[in-house]
Amino acid sequence: MTEQDKKYLYRLRALCDTIEDKFDYTVFYAVCKRYMEFKQNHVASKNITKTELLEMLVKEGLLNYRQDKATGRFDMLPDDRSLRKSIRELLKKGYPIITTSHEGGCFIAETEEEVEAPQKENHSRAVAILAVDKGYRMVRTFISGGENDG
């Protein structure tokens, strides 16, 4: 591990210590831990899957298993909505935790290039949502009997 890697890990640890919410802290800590293991060549990828994160959150008592309707047992992983929300909130606050639609899970970004691709994806999604929003306005105009400029 390079000296630069070590410095980045120390900065990540300091950043981790600023998180007050236990759920967010646990998520960010786990992603940082995977990043450290990757830098130490203990794992092949710095990416940690949603499944791994959900299992860890259940183990920590922060989430609960769901009931499997077929068997009646509570052994299904929880829905990942709270995990996605946590990651989104951490990123909004400037924590370098990145997800993409092409990879399962998330990772710690260490280069600007790793931030650019998911940022472009989000921008494209936002533009598409705004285009649909324009369609809603056009539908309202149509319903009310006004001219629809299409």
Query: Domains along the chain?
Result: 3-109 (1.10.10), 111-150 (no CATH)
Asked if pLDDT for residue 61 goes beyond 90, the answer is yes
The more confidently predicted of residues 25 and 1 is 25
Asked if pLDDT for residue 149 goes beyond 60, the answer is no
What are the pLDDT digits (tens) for 93-130?
999 999 866 667 899 999 999 998 888 888 888 898 88
What are the pLDDT digits (tens) for 22-54?
999 999 999 999 999 999 999 999 999 999 999
Asked if pLDDT for residue 4 goes beyond 90, the answer is yes
What are the pLDDT digits (tens) for 104-114?
789 999 999 99
- For range 145-149, the mean pLDDT: 71
Residues 6+ apart with CB under 8 A from 74: 64, 65, 66, 67, 68
Q: What's residue 117's pLDDT?
A: 85
Strand partners, 98: 107
Q: What's residue 50's pLDDT?
A: 92
| Nearest one of 96, 95, 92 to 109, comparing CA atoms | 96
In whole angstroms, how far apart are CA 85 and each of 23, 80, 89, 127, 133? 11, 9, 6, 21, 23
Q: What's residue 101's pLDDT?
A: 66
